[in-house]
Amino acid sequence: MSTAPTSPTALAGNSELSKIQKQALWFLCSGFFFRLGLALVTFEQVRPLGLMLSDYCFGLALIFLPKARLFKLRGSGILLAASLVLLGALMSLHSAASFTDAFGALTKPIVLFGLIGPLALCHSKPIYKNMEFIFGGIFVNCLITLIQAWVYPGIVDLLSINPPQPDVGFSGRFQGMTEFPVTLGLSAALAVLIGIGLFYRARTSYARFGLVAVMLICSIAALLSGSRTFLASLIPAVLVFVLSQKQRRRGVILAVAGLTVLWGAIIYLAPGVVTQYSDRLGSVGLVDYGRLATAAQAAMEISEKPILGWGVDHFDEGGVLTIPETGEIASAHNTFLRYWYAAGLLGAIGFLTLFVAPARRMVQILKEKPFDKCAGAVRLVLACYVFFFIVSNLGPYFYNRYLYVPMFVFAGFAARVAIPVESRKTVRQLITRFPAGHGAVS
């Protein structure tokens, strides 16, 4: 019994379907490796062959990523900002002392803004899943810090591979698997901020209890780091998140109550850690006048080459001063000034665009009153953007993955966010005109 031959149209359709399925599979693999990289962005002390573990994951994610996805990225502002930064870096080569060193330094912004940035935008849509991976990775890092402080002091040295900085836990300030104690502090602050947002979303008491436990561990680790950035960046970001809620008064009351309970639990469980942190704040103060002096010095140096900058290979040199009180050699702890110093005016504008364009988009979304499911996520990513902006003004963060990659993800999510009120009315009208089972719009 013979079978009818398959028509060329059917074969073409099957081939196209198979191609789509393969691309979907590759995209899932790419997403897995990307989110694994997100979880590992704070593990800076683990560098097989000199590269961070997260970079290996991002590289695999790029290999599996269907390249057609890269042509659908728009509206986030990140690609515009990246283009300005890279153009400024290229133009700054004119001022570079050595072209060999400059081209070597140029690979860093190319990798971050030209490769990892678009990759993060492609995988930005499942925003809560991305947040959970960031949250979980920081939690593991903070847990390692607690183990180092209270159980096994050698755990960081045991887990480190080609660390760029020695462990300084012996000095009383812990860094976990991050490069510096301040990095652990700001990472823990980001985890607490994300934890608060996830707490608002949690539906079961078990989930909320787990989130509180994780935030407690991250907060203790932040205090063990001795970093002032923890409170300086976390408190304003939490205020933005709370005040952006529909029921502001209820949100403020819940936030104050929650933070009070969290702080009380820390005092009860780790009173020595709180005392040590308070003593450090009392000894160094809340305002670092040395940083103000280095920022002023950087501004003076920028005025000498305001357009082209001093060269992309001079990021480490902006505003270098010797602090008279301590004899310490310090540089400007302000990322915007350092971008202007090294990559010129275009680099500085591009760096500001990283914050301004996505934040403006988020504010517009909230004004348009999107779906409630999206609104909560937008409020949280807006608070995270305030957090990132504050952090960037408290330290020099040039290409740090734990700062920029989450920014790219959150900006990409804002660009994809759902239908506002007016569009929703249009959809309802179409549903009314073409109900289910009565055909589709031709």
DSSP states of 175-240:
-TTSSSHHHHHHHHHHHHHHHHHHHHH--SHHHHHHHHHHHHHHHHHHHHHT-THHHHHHHHHHHH
H helix runs in 4-116, sequence order: 8-39, 53-64, 78-91, 99-109
Greatest CA separation for the chain: 97
- Considering only 16-30, 131-145, 217-231, 414-428, which range has the smallest mean pLDDT? 414-428
Q: What angle do CA 55, 60, 64 make, to 5 degrees?
A: 145
Query: Residue ranges per domain, the chain?
Result: 21-72+126-284, 78-122+289-433
Is residue 2's pLDDT more than 60?
no
Q: Higher model confidence: residue 132 or residue 417?
A: 132
Q: What is the mean pLDDT of residues 335-363?
A: 94
Contact 281, 223 (CB under 8 A): no
pLDDT digits (tens, 9 = 90+) for 42-52: 999 999 999 99
- Number of neighbours of residue 237 by Cβ within 10 angstroms: 25
Is the pLDDT assigned to residue 83 strictly greater than 50? Answer: yes
- Could you give the percent of the chain with pLDDT greater than 90? 58
- 109 in Cβ contact with 85 (< 8 Å): yes
> Rounded to whole angstroms, how far apart are CA atoms 383 and 403?
14
Residue at token pair 């002091």: 153
Cβ–Cβ < 8 Å for 42, 141: yes
Q: Which residues contact residue 275 at a Cβ distance below 8 angstroms, ignoring those fewer than 6 apart?
A: none
pLDDT at res. 129: 95
pLDDT recorded at residue 430: 44
pLDDT at residue 313 in the model:
87
